[in-house]
Copies of this chain bind each other. A is one copy, B any other.
Amino acid sequence: MPKIVDHDSHREEMLDRCFDLFAEKGFGNVTMRDVARELDVSTGALYHYFENKQAILEQMLILQGRRDVEEALRRMAVTGSFEERLKIFFDFFKDSEARFRKLFMLSLDFLRNAKSESSRSIVYRWAEYYVSNMEKYLSIPKEMAQFIIVFFNGVVYQAMLFPETISVKDQMALFSEVILSFLREHADPKNRLCRRCPFITDK
């Protein structure tokens, strides 16, 4: 019984330790030997913990996705005005940019290598969970929560592909300004959701 626990925690440690490797080189460009070397184990040992290479990717995505959500929830424990809460989200993104970048790449690798539709649902659920928490925390419509995440992912892509032509910081600042401006403008003075467009309901 304790063995099992050890096994699982060992597995998680392994997934952490080769997260960068997969993210940087890409699933297809990493060999099991690379992984074994990185983790300082034999290739054979790898197969004690993971059924096959694909399983590493899947479990890695699940684990890191979970880590991400946990960290998000931790940050969302803090309350305050809408602006403050939105800022927490932006800060979370800025602080976690490196991990987001890796998750971003891994999710695409996963998508392309996923054998079954059912395995893709792993990612779908993760996104769903994320959005619904944002919705509640920021008191914004689902559509707007998705809107924010869309932008974040756009920044991650742009920063990865054109690191020299884009300033993540500036783009984030601009986005913050744009979205706050929009939400304020559409705020219902009677504090109700506007039917025509998504907006904020703040106390």
Contacts and interface: CB of A to CB of B under 8 A. Distances in A.
Interface of A: 25-29, 104-105, 107-108, 111-113, 123-124, 127-128, 131, 143-144, 146-147, 149-155, 157-158, 160-162, 164-166, 170-171, 174-175, 177-179, 181-182, 185, 197-198
Contact of A154 (B112, B123, B155, B160): B155
A27 B198 CA distance: 40
Contact of A178 (B113, B149, B152, B182): B182
A165 B128 contact: yes
Nearest to A25: B112
A147 B174 contact: yes
A60 to B, nearest CB: 16
Identical copies of this chain, number: 4
B147 A175 contact: yes
Contacts of A143: 170-171, 174
A25 B111 CA distance: 10
Nearest to A196: B177
Nearest to A29: B112
A124 B29 contact: no
A164 B121 CA distance: 11
A133 to B, nearest CB: 14
Contact of A158 (B113, B150, B165): B150
A124 B154 contact: no
Given A105-B108, A197-B177, A161 B128 contact: no
B146 A171 contact: yes
A174 B197 CA distance: 8
Contact of A181 (B107, B108, B161, B181): B181
